[in-house]
Amino acid sequence: MVDLSKFIVESRDLVDSVLDRLVPSADIEPVRLHEAIRWSLFAGGKRFRPALLFAAGIAFGAEEEKLVRTAAAIELIHTFSLIHDDLPAMDDDDLRRGRLTCHKKYGEATAILAGDALQTLAFKAIADDQGLSFEVRTRLISMIAEASGSPVGMVAGQQMDLDAEGRDVDFDHLQRIHSWKTGALIAASAVSGGLIGGAVDEDVATLKRFAGKLGLLFQITDDIIDITQTTETLGKTAGKDENAQKATYPGHFGIERTRELASEAANDAKLELGRLAVNTTLLSEIVDHTLNRTF
Amino acid sequence: MVDLSKFIVESRDLVDSVLDRLVPSADIEPVRLHEAIRWSLFAGGKRFRPALLFAAGIAFGAEEEKLVRTAAAIELIHTFSLIHDDLPAMDDDDLRRGRLTCHKKYGEATAILAGDALQTLAFKAIADDQGLSFEVRTRLISMIAEASGSPVGMVAGQQMDLDAEGRDVDFDHLQRIHSWKTGALIAASAVSGGLIGGAVDEDVATLKRFAGKLGLLFQITDDIIDITQTTETLGKTAGKDENAQKATYPGHFGIERTRELASEAANDAKLELGRLAVNTTLLSEIVDHTLNRTF
């Protein structure tokens, strides 16, 4: 039996210490920009993607020191996406994780630039990772860039999400939006761990399918939490997605069917893990943790 | 004698054909995003940075086919920066190169995402460049990411430029803003050519100093053009920088002294070229072309 809570705390602390070194300190010019970056980066994030990357890497025998910079890079990209998604022109959120969003605190211009800089820092972090071969660094950058962009990544998903606002979208379309907006970078996290651990192509493909299901689960539970929690608990404006008639699972299927879909996604993810001939205990526990999460 | 005009047209056509392949076509979902990307990418840009990269690479014996993807990648980053700089929260420009800016045509949300996607596409283009060794790809990505971000790159320069608005800035500060905002990516273009051509570290350092002076020259002539051209000729709102009391050379030194500074920068750039034991005719002609440009 693995102590998942301990693992999550330890991987979070490890990645946070590397993030602190990767990002310019707040007393370096331009100060406002670096303060804004740190405001959003160290805002109590769960570091879910780094934990997943660690768990996948450890399953394939990678040492933590070889995993941590890529884990940090993915968190940099995730943070960039949160900052830009919160902007007035996008989701227009004032609060995230219980405090002001980047643009509410530092202004729109600086928030846009903070997101931009976070993306450059992410790719530089991987390119400079001397613990990895040049080939692995190159493969990671290519894969993570694809998962972050368009037409099959995070930016594409955000655009499709905006396009879907106020429209009645069918289930396939809804799934596609989520698989790009949230799932792609989650899948990239698991695949990165496998690549660094030297997983063969077939196992990388399995990891990708596994993480696709996990990403789906993550999005479904996110939607459930959003409508069932109060604003105070959540630190952001609860029910906002529903109010905006956005493409959410509960809005489309109702809460009961949405909970069933969550269980199905968890089972599908575990089926994929069963195809791997390595110790996937940690990965399996992350699935359970995601299914049962309340924040 | 080299025919620089012919070289510039040929390198532009070559990089445009690769850009067309690197960027998702406008009929792929999300259509709006890919249309927006192409609107700004194929807007009649001069492709100055690609031309410089080609010239530096050719000086060091690199074949064009090894240079063109990195040249395209830098143009993707340059275009991302233009889209974001034009946003209402930043410089708030309605026109660029004689037509609507990205956000005026496609809305702010899509413009922000188009810039974000362009950055991912740039790093993926280099990571996937099979004509280059994994080591060279990795070095290029690290160097270009640094030049694009903060604290010593393009994003830092844009933040410092915003911070300087309405304030009286001294010459050193003005130079620093420009060297980051515009100069860093121009320097990265020249250095990329050298790296791909296998230049030794000392020559790479010389290329960087050369391009630093060329970037300075580029910024000074940009400022001169901005105040001397009419809006109709320029395709953007002329005199805007002056109106906004931004940190421009003519606003600080007057037009006569600014012209002298341009000549000095051109001479300094050529002095650096004199230190290289390769044929720098093309690079030298780019300096003259930049000094004498009127658009």
Instruction: Kindly determine whether residue B159 and residue A123, on different chains, have CB atoms separated by under 8 Å.
Output: no
Asked if residues B97 and B233 have their Cβ atoms less than 8 Å apart, the reply is no
- For A134-181, what is each residue's pLDDT tens digit? 999 999 999 999 999 999 999 999 999 999 888 877 878 888 888 999
State the residue range of the domain holding B213. Answer: 4-288
Closest Cα in chain A to B91? A109
Residues of A in contact with B73 (CB under 8 A): none
* Angstrom distance (rounded) from CA A241 to CA A28: 38
- For B146-176, what is each residue's pLDDT tens digit? 999 999 999 999 999 999 888 877 878 888 8
Q: Which of A28, A81, A103, A119 to mutate to test the interface with B (most CBs of B within 10 A)?
A: A119
- How close does chain B come to A133, measured CA to CA in Å? 9
* Angstrom distance (rounded) from CA A218 to CA A185: 12
pLDDT band at A9 (very low <50, low <70, confident <90, very high): very high
Q: Please give the tally of structural domains in chain A.
A: 1
Closest Cα in chain A to B130? A138
- For A80-105, what is each residue's pLDDT tens digit? 999 999 999 999 999 998 999 999 99
Instruction: Kindly determine whether residue A150 and residue B32, on different chains, have CB atoms separated by under 8 Å.
Output: no
Stretch among A202-206, A257-261, B220-224 having the lowest mean pLDDT:
B220-224
Asked if residues A159 and B110 have their Cβ atoms less than 8 Å apart, the reply is yes
- Asked, for residue B173, whether it belongs to a domain, the answer is yes
User: Out of A90, A123, A153, whose CB is closest to B109?
Assistant: A90
Label residue B202 exposed, middle or buried (CB < 10 Å: 0-12, 13-18, 19+). Answer: exposed
* Angstrom distance (rounded) from CA A150 to CA A147: 8
Structure tokens at B56: 């530096």
Residues of B in contact with A113 (CB under 8 A): 84, 150, 155, 158-159
Instruction: Report DSSP letters for B172-217, one per residue.
Output: HHHHHHHIIIIIHHHHHHHHHHHHHTT--HHHHHHHHHHHHHHHHH
pLDDT band at B235 (very low <50, low <70, confident <90, very high): low
Instruction: Kindly determine whether residue B155 and residue A33, on different chains, have CB atoms separated by under 8 Å.
Output: yes
Asked if residues B4 and B55 have their Cβ atoms less than 8 Å apart, the reply is no
Closest Cα in chain A to B29? A151
Q: For residue B4, is pLDDT > 80?
A: yes
> Does residue B50 have a cis bond before it (omega within 30 degrees)?
no
- The identity of residue A257, as a single letter, is R
Nearest one of B249, B256, B262 to B291, comparing CA atoms: B262
Distances (CA, A) of B101 to A111, B39, B95, B110: 20, 9, 5, 12
DSSP code at position B78: H
Angle, helix A154-164 to helix A64-85, in steps of 10 degrees: 30
Q: Is the dihedral of CA B214, B220, B224, B225 positive or negative?
A: positive
Q: How high is the pLDDT of residue B246?
A: 56
- pTM exceeds 0.90: yes
User: Out of B133, B141, B160, whose CB is closest to A127?
Assistant: B141
Q: Which of A70, A130, A133, A159 to mutate to test the interface with B (most CBs of B within 10 A)?
A: A159
Q: How high is the pLDDT of residue B167?
A: 83
Q: What is the CATH number of the domain that holds B230?
A: 1.10.600.10
Q: How high is the pLDDT of residue B176?
A: 87
Instruction: Kindly determine whether residue A146 and residue B153, on different chains, have CB atoms separated by under 8 Å.
Output: no
Q: How high is the pLDDT of residue A167?
A: 83
Q: Which of A35, A103, A112 to mutate to test the interface with B (most CBs of B within 10 A)?
A: A112
Residues of B in contact with A133 (CB under 8 A): 134
Instruction: Kindly determine whether residue B120 and residue A162, on different chains, have CB atoms separated by under 8 Å.
Output: no
Residue pairs between chains A and B whose CB atoms are closer than 8 Å: 165
Asked if residues A233 and A95 have their Cβ atoms less than 8 Å apart, the reply is no
- The identity of residue A26, as a single letter, is A
Residues of A in contact with B92 (CB under 8 A): none
Asked if residues A175 and A212 have their Cβ atoms less than 8 Å apart, the reply is no
Instruction: Kindly determine whether residue B155 and residue A123, on different chains, have CB atoms separated by under 8 Å.
Output: no
Instruction: Kindly determine whether residue A117 and residue B142, on different chains, have CB atoms separated by under 8 Å.
Output: no
Instruction: Kindly determine whether residue B108 and residue A120, on different chains, have CB atoms separated by under 8 Å.
Output: no
Residues of A in contact with B134 (CB under 8 A): 133-135, 137-138
Instruction: Kindly determine whether residue A84 and residue B146, on different chains, have CB atoms separated by under 8 Å.
Output: no
Residues of B in contact with A107 (CB under 8 A): 89
Distances (CA, A) of A115 to A38, B119, B124: 11, 11, 18
- Asked, for residue B294, whether it belongs to a domain, the answer is no
Which residues, at least 6 apart from B47, have a Cβ–Cβ distance to it below 8 Å?
Answer: B8, B11, B12, B15, B16, B75
Residue A128, Cα to own-chain centre: how many angstroms?
22
Which residues, at least 6 apart from B149, have a Cβ–Cβ distance to it below 8 Å?
Answer: A116, A117, A119, A120, A121, A124, B155, B156
* Whole-number percent of chain B with pLDDT over 70: 93
Label residue A225 exposed, middle or buried (CB < 10 Å: 0-12, 13-18, 19+). Answer: middle
Q: For residue A278, is pLDDT > 50?
A: yes
Residues of A in contact with B173 (CB under 8 A): none
- Position of tokens 């999400």? A161
* Angstrom distance (rounded) from CA B272 to CA B190: 13
Instruction: Kindly determine whether residue B24 and residue A123, on different chains, have CB atoms separated by under 8 Å.
Output: no
Q: How high is the pLDDT of residue B245?
A: 43
Instruction: Kindly determine whether residue B146 and residue A124, on different chains, have CB atoms separated by under 8 Å.
Output: yes
- The identity of residue A92, as a single letter, is D
Q: For residue B243, is pLDDT > 70?
A: no
Q: For residue A231, is pLDDT > 80?
A: no
- For B17-39, what is each residue's pLDDT tens digit? 999 999 999 999 999 999 999 99
Please write down the HEC assignment for all residues of A137-186.
HHHHHHHHHHHHCCCCCHHHHHHHHHHHCCCCCCHHHHHHHHHHHHHHHH
- Position of tokens 């609507």? B100
* Angstrom distance (rounded) from CA A140 to CA A152: 16
Q: Which of B123, B136, B146, B180 to mutate to test the interface with A (most CBs of A within 10 A)?
A: B123
- Asked, for residue B293, whether it belongs to a domain, the answer is no
Residues paired with residue B100 on neighbouring β-strands, in sequence order: B95
Instruction: Kindly determine whether residue A150 and residue B80, on different chains, have CB atoms separated by under 8 Å.
Output: no
* Angstrom distance (rounded) from CA B148 to CA B181: 9
How many other CB atoms are there within 10 angstroms of residue A158's CB atom?
28
Instruction: Kindly determine whether residue B34 and residue A113, on different chains, have CB atoms separated by under 8 Å.
Output: no
Nearest one of A269, A290, A146, A291 to A209, comparing CA atoms: A269
Instruction: Kindly determine whether residue B89 and residue A80, on different chains, have CB atoms separated by under 8 Å.
Output: no
Structure tokens at B291: 């000094």
- How close does chain B come to A111, measured CA to CA in Å? 10
Distances (CA, A) of A67 to A139, A193, B142, B262, B275: 14, 7, 18, 48, 42
Asked if residues B249 and B258 have their Cβ atoms less than 8 Å apart, the reply is yes
Instruction: Kindly determine whether residue B30 and residue A123, on different chains, have CB atoms separated by under 8 Å.
Output: no
pLDDT band at B247 (very low <50, low <70, confident <90, very high): low
